[in-house]
Structure 1
Amino acid sequence: MQDGAPDDPSDAKTVWAEQRTDWAEDRTVLANERTFAGWLRTGLASVAVAIGLKALFREAEIDWLPRAMATLFLVAAIWIYWIARNAARRTQSRLDAHGAEAQPTRTYTLTAGILTVATVGVAVVLWRL
């Protein structure tokens, strides 16, 4: 038979069905990583909005108001990073990678942590300007 399948057709169907299931699970592993990246982009977009708000309202009479609004977007960004991390880890823990190489779950934590520190740094800069 083809693809290294057994001679018995019923066994071949089982092997092929298992391969298709493994491939589907690999696609889901990779989709989980793309979803995590999408959430991070959303968080970084919140950081960009915060910087834009500060720049747009630089000369406001009440100087703390644009900073407070920007800080809300920065807090939202941090929240998004950690929600994404938790969702990605939870999803990956339920999946088994077969042919695809999944990122280690600590990568999600490390990435969320680095972006959190960077976002807090942006907040400090916005409040000092």
Structure 2
Amino acid sequence: MVRTADENQALCGVRILIAEDEILIALDMEAAFRDAGADVVGPCTTIAAALDAVRNEALSLAVLDIRLGQVTTEEVSDLLAERGVPFLFYSGQALPVEMQRKCNGALVVDKPAAQQDLVGAAAKLLAA
């Protein structure tokens, strides 16, 4: 992901959960969202850590990989939906059928994406 400074800080004051198990991708995402003015929760590299964050943090938005290790983030997306927190998926994999059904219309940003594409997707989701 190519990083560029966002002078407008489109996500100023937004609290974003990052659930990503590839640490280099997670750190790049964290930097991109911080550059856009967001406060970042995580990155969470396990389902347990992501669930804990959803239960205990005030979140504006979550960005989830479809899988953390071998486990899907379905339980995390279910809890986010229950709590009314918008989320998007950032993954190189297709959304499993059951998750497609449950997350009808969920935004999926394909890896790899440029920083401005991922930040833009988050800003668009928050504006909706």
Range of TM-score over shorter length = under 0.3
TM-score by length of 1: 0.21
Higher RCO, 1 or 2 (CA under 8 Å, sep at least 6)? Answer: 1
Which protein has the bigger strand share?
2
Please report the TM-score for the alignment, with normalisation by the length of structure 2: 0.21
Q: In terms of Rg, which structure is larger?
A: 1
